[in-house]
Chains A and B, each alone.
Chain A
């Protein structure tokens, strides 16, 4: 652990149509990456066009990539993280900041775990592969669309060699 260097960037990555970018608190981002990839990893940030992709590794082995996105819920941005493994399978998502008064159930494990193991080829649509939560429809739709887009981007960039 002492060898490991963890660089966590507090960054803002917009996912259309998110509007102004919102920041993820560094502590929450660090905790999320630690939960997903284990403690003591090295995190580098890569730029692809205007996007920032986090590359997570330990020693010489690549553990995966992650990206922070924002989508608008009813009126507030929802800041979330999408993490993939080196085979472009979705490891998990995390809701880093939820600002709406209702619909926060998208942050909970029973909903998030539906995304695990999905690839860009899978159906990531509400009602088709992803169950909705009644009373939280707007947040569910927004986060699902945001995850779908980021997973597609990460997969395309990885396969094209833009991130590796």
Chain B
């Protein structure tokens, strides 16, 4: 075994070159540090069913402070659609995440605060240069209510015995069934950190495995949604909702692939629908597959820039299952096909353009959308 002298004052002798003896004193005290970062995206969207619009879709400031080597606070402050006016329907200012991390070991960091629900790819990783297409996948809007965040406590870390395996698990405030609807799924049931009900503490977690070029993950959510309602039930797990999801990202050479699938089931959908006078799906399901190819690998082999041509096909149904006696709304069985180009002069700057074909099984309200966008992260 090697021997060493871990005393603070170590004399190292340099004889060969006459540098002389050098004493190196090391400041082991942790340093406080504040980090600023951010990401943003500006969109031009031209739908076949309306006028084109331009929008500062997201402007996000990332602010982190490390109190020492083990304790840090991390936060994101987001402005959507450039501004918020008292009368306006558009625009949001939101704390997208703010949590304290207490790192105890590589395999254990305690996390407390407003955290991102660790489900799918986009909910946690949505900086514009990390995904193809101007808009986030529709699946990550309609099925997984991105950006889904709740207040809670949990742990993140690596699994010691298996290289590349990591986990996150949280106990967070639950969804409220009152916010569910046919067209928006579970999205409006999220508390998003604002006076959120803790009547239905819920469990969510993720296990993922990564190696160069590959990352695969599986996620779950389980929790009640009744919010203490006297009809639906006052138990912690009354009117339960279960989500399971899986995703993969794979890069090989100039090609890149990714996909997500999710299944959400609400066993008391019938009771929820009756209680709030609406139709609530008992099951939401779907996913997408995407393939891309870096054209510069062929056209300009020495370039480290990327021009990725991609196609993404999404297929999901917000009423994959409905309570007995309810007729399905087939316009909620959606298909979105996106063809586009992603130009990345640097890994963290992106210019995007795409063409989307938005269809549904009812054959109503179909449209084509042409979008352009710029994005960055730092």
Interface of A is mostly: loop
Measured between beta carbons, the chain A residues less than 8 angstroms from B347 are 126-127, 137, 141
Interface size of B by CB at 8 A reads: 55
Out of A47, A109, A110, A137, which one reaches B19, CB within 8 Å? A47
CA distance A136 to B28 in the complex (A): 27
Contact (A133, B28) CB under 8 Å given A8-B5, A141-B347: no
- Whether B304 contacts A74 by the Cβ 8 Å rule is no
Chain A, Cβ-Cβ closest to B111: A101
Measured between beta carbons, the chain A residues less than 8 angstroms from B17 are 46, 162-164
Interface size of A by CB at 8 A reads: 57
Out of B5, B12, B106, B251, which one reaches A134, CB within 8 Å? B251
- Whether A135 contacts B215 by the Cβ 8 Å rule is yes
Out of B3, B14, B111, B157, which one reaches A45, CB within 8 Å? B14
Least CB distance from B14 to A in Å reads: 5
Interface readout for A143-164 with B: 1 if CB under 8 Å, 0 if not? 0000000000000000000111
CA distance A41 to B2 in the complex (A): 8
Interface readout for A120-141 with B: 1 if CB under 8 Å, 0 if not? 0000011110011111110001
CA distance A101 to B16 in the complex (A): 42
Interface readout for A1-28 with B: 1 if CB under 8 Å, 0 if not? 0000011111110000001111100110
- Whether A102 contacts B156 by the Cβ 8 Å rule is yes
Does A85 touch B at the CB level, under 8 Å? no
- Whether A134 contacts B249 by the Cβ 8 Å rule is yes
CA distance A40 to B210 in the complex (A): 35
- Whether A11 contacts B163 by the Cβ 8 Å rule is no
Least CB distance from A93 to B in Å reads: 14
- Whether B212 contacts A131 by the Cβ 8 Å rule is yes
Least CB distance from A78 to B in Å reads: 12
5 A-B pairs (CB sep. < 8 Å): A7-B12, A75-B66, A101-B156, A110-B163, A141-B348
